[in-house]
């Protein structure tokens, strides 16, 4: 049913993006809106999907992301690592009567910890399939929940999640720093200074209070707080990620360009080179690869 | 004006406590309510103070805490460390026409960082004055913002703040963990396991996501999330605090008993002994010591 074209949907917590893919694999139309899974009322997914088809055409749907979580449409069980696109394709979760399927997320467990991802796996496999990244590499995938991923032979071997984006949003909305947290984050001097502090061993909860004290005592300008705080969080994130990354060389940073450039700047502070990859392009390649596996 | 008795007020962000102290220094009456500084409307402090006198008597007021911050009644400038009770008494901030004064907070700066406290300094000097702690010791003072303090010859030499309590509240109110964050925290097995993880080098933002993944994959019971998360935050806090503490021996843990016992349990995990001190008793001794300095 997929060979005459389909719709690819990247359906996250707060946003969704839909793409109409034609029979030769080209993207012919797309849209993005704020109807993430938290914006869909209980029982509202069939209507939300009908809306997508009204916009992009009456085609089968291949979906990925939080739509397959316990807070989404239906829960598509996690596939354990190591896993590649073939395994994902074998575990697609079909939705009866809807000409639709959900790509499952990945889980990782070892003796000491557990981890999960939903959505990033499609981009990772897509980037390999499209030749954007080598099949063996370390990937950093920033977002609400940043993922540090080890790819081996095109499979996700292990990964570690850091809730940097969510923490930044929490600090913006309701914290002793909120009053200063509006404004854009640029990878300038305040950001780099934050990264250096974040790379140190002290707890983020200590460094974050230091931001407030720094402003009160005139050490830090209020207008520099968003960039400095972003640097702190990303610095601590990078320190943790590199501790778990197994490749010594370049790190691939994949995702939204406004985030990947911040991580690239923080990695540079540690002496690591990085290669930035646009997540949207990788997503389409990943859905294409999964469809190829089942047709 | 203080020798015929006075009212001591510990006026924080969300709560206030008032105590009527008689001419021989004994506490004859007290109250506590939720009218912290954020509960007082603009221009409302004279009325809020009249309320206190209606309850406890028409006496002069000695106040400490966030009432002296830029969000309080009037801003009493920070006194830089090192400082003892004599310096605080010299820098009391009188409020014209109100028979009232505010005890200033303390600031700390060195080449690398800045820090501030308001309210804890009174408890610290009170504990020394009352002989509850030696004049040279390391103190941990948990609360919304935990303070690690080095006391030397009865003065605060340096300190470091960790926003553990505020972070716990943020995670309760609005985070991927919120759904599991109700419930009491006891220093049991889940708490201790959290402490061990929190003492490790990885970023809190990584460990916190691991809590969610642990529940989703059946590694952690939802009911254990509050205690485990509290342990994580306190473990990271203790690791930072001990890195900055200069005494090898016992740590004094001062504050509300339900918090000091958690920090005492976390310190034990690192092999440190601790001595718990009730912050309320120390506060009254501290205000008494400051009044003694000015009469």
pLDDT value of residue B25: 93
Nearest CA in chain B to A174: B170
Please tell me what DSSP assigns to residue B265. H
pLDDT digits (tens, 9 = 90+) for B238-283: 999 998 777 778 999 999 999 999 999 999 999 999 999 999 999 9
Contact A74/B at CB under 8 A: no
What three-state secondary structure class fits B52?
A: helix
pLDDT value of residue B98: 86
pLDDT over 90 for what percent of chain B?
92
Query: Does residue B128 register a pLDDT over 80?
Result: yes
A chain contacts of residue B114, beta-carbon cutoff 8 Å: 210, 213-214, 216-217, 219-220
pLDDT digits (tens, 9 = 90+) for A12-41: 988 999 999 999 999 999 999 999 999 999
Nearest CA in chain B to A78: B217
Decide if A216 and B114 are in contact by the 8 Å CB cutoff: yes
CATH of B162-278, one of 3.30.300.30, 3.30.420.310, 3.40.50.300, 3.30.200.20: 3.30.420.310
Round to whole Å and give the CA distance between B25 and B46. 26
Closest CA to A94 of A76, A121, A107: A76
pLDDT value of residue B67: 97
pLDDT digits (tens, 9 = 90+) for B149-195: 999 999 999 999 999 999 999 999 999 999 999 989 999 999 999 99
At B21, is the pLDDT very low, low, confident or very high (cuts 50, 70, 90)?
very high
ipTM of predicted assembly, 2 dp = 0.92
Q: Which of B170, B212, B236 sits opposite A174 (nearest CB)?
A: B170
Residue intervals of chain B classified under CATH 3.30.420.310 are 162-278
Round to whole Å and give the CA distance between B264 and B278. 13
Residue intervals of chain B classified under CATH 3.30.420.300 are 6-133+283-294
Give whole-number Cα distances, B124 to A172, A230, B3, B142, B181, in Å. Answer: 32, 34, 23, 12, 32
Helix (H) or strand (E) holding B167: helix B164-173
Closest CA to A161 of A208, A120, A193, A100: A120
Q: Which of B204, B219, B243 sits opposite A204 (nearest CB)?
A: B204
A157 to chain B nearest CA, in Å? 17
Nearest CA in chain A to B213: A115
Mean pLDDT calculated for residue range A253-260: 95
Round to whole Å and give the CA distance between B65 and A83. 55
Round to whole Å and give the CA distance between A229 and A169. 11
Decide if B175 and A176 are in contact by the 8 Å CB cutoff: no
Residue with the two structure tokens 């939204």: A256
CATH of B6-133+283-294, one of 3.30.420.300, 3.90.79.10, 3.40.50.150, 3.30.470.20: 3.30.420.300
pLDDT value of residue B163: 97
pLDDT digits (tens, 9 = 90+) for A61-101: 999 999 999 889 999 999 999 999 999 999 999 998 889 99
Indicate the average pLDDT of chain A: 95
Phi, psi angle pair for A5, to nearest 5°:
110, 160
pLDDT value of residue A97: 86
pTM for this model (two decimals): 0.94
pLDDT value of residue A243: 87
Q: Which of A107, A205, A243 sits opposite B233 (nearest CB)?
A: A205
A60 neighbors A99 (Cβ within 8 angstroms): yes
What secondary structure does DSSP assign to chain A, as a single string?
--TT-EEEEEE-SS-EEEEEE-TTS-EEEEEEES--GGGSPTT-HHHHHHHHHHHH-S--EEEESGGGSTTSSS--PPEESSB-HHHHHHT-EEETTTTEEE---EEEE-SS-EEEESSHHHHHHHHHHTTSS-SSEEEEE-SSSEEEEEEETTEEEEEEEE-HHHHHHHHHHSSTTGGG--S---SSHHHHHHHHHHTSSS-HHHHHHHHHHHHHTTSS-GGGHHHHHHHHHHHHHHHHHHHH---SS-EEEEE-HHHHHHHHHHHHHTT--EEEEEHHHHHHHHHHHHHHHH-
Round to whole Å and give the CA distance between B37 and B33. 11
pLDDT digits (tens, 9 = 90+) for A190-221: 999 999 999 998 899 999 999 999 999 999 99
Contacts of A43 (CB under 8 A, 6+ apart): none
pLDDT value of residue A240: 94
């Amino acid at each position: 049913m997929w060979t005459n074209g389909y719709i690819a949907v990247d359906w996250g917590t707060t946003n969704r993006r839909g793409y109409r893919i034609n029979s030769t694999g080209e993207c012919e139309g797309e849209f993005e809106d704020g109807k993430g899974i938290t914006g869909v009322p209980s029982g509202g997914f069939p209507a939300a999907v009908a809306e997508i088809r009204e916009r992009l055409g009456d085609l089968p749907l291949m979906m990925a992301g939080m739509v397959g979580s316990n807070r989404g449409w239906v829960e598509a069980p996690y596939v354990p690592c190591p896993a590649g696109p073939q395994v994902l394709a074998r575990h697609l979760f079909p939705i009866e009567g809807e000409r639709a399927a959900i790509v499952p997320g990945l889980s990782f467990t070892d003796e000491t910890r557990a981890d999960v991802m939903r959505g990033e796996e499609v981009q990772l496999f897509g980037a390999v399939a499209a030749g954007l990244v080598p099949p063996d590499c370390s990937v950093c995938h920033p977002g609400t929940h940043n993922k540090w991923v080890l790819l081996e032979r095109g499979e996700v071997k292990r990964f570690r999640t850091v809730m940097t984006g969510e923490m930044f949003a929490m600090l913006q909305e309701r914290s002793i720093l909120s009053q200063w947290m509006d404004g854009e984050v640029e990878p300038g001097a305040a950001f780099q200074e934050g990264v250096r502090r974040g790379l140190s061993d002290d707890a983020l909860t200590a460094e974050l209070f230091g931001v407030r004290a720094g402003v009160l005592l005139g050490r830090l300008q209020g207008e520099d707080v968003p960039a400095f705080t972003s640097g702190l969080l990303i610095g601590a994130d990078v320190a943790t990620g590199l501790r778990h990354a197994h490749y010594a060389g370049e790190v691939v940073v994949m995702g939204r360009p406004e985030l990947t450039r911040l991580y690239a700047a923080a990695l540079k502070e540690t002496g690591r080179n990085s290669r930035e990859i646009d997540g949207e392009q990788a997503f389409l390649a990943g859905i294409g690869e999964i469809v190829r596996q089942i047709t």
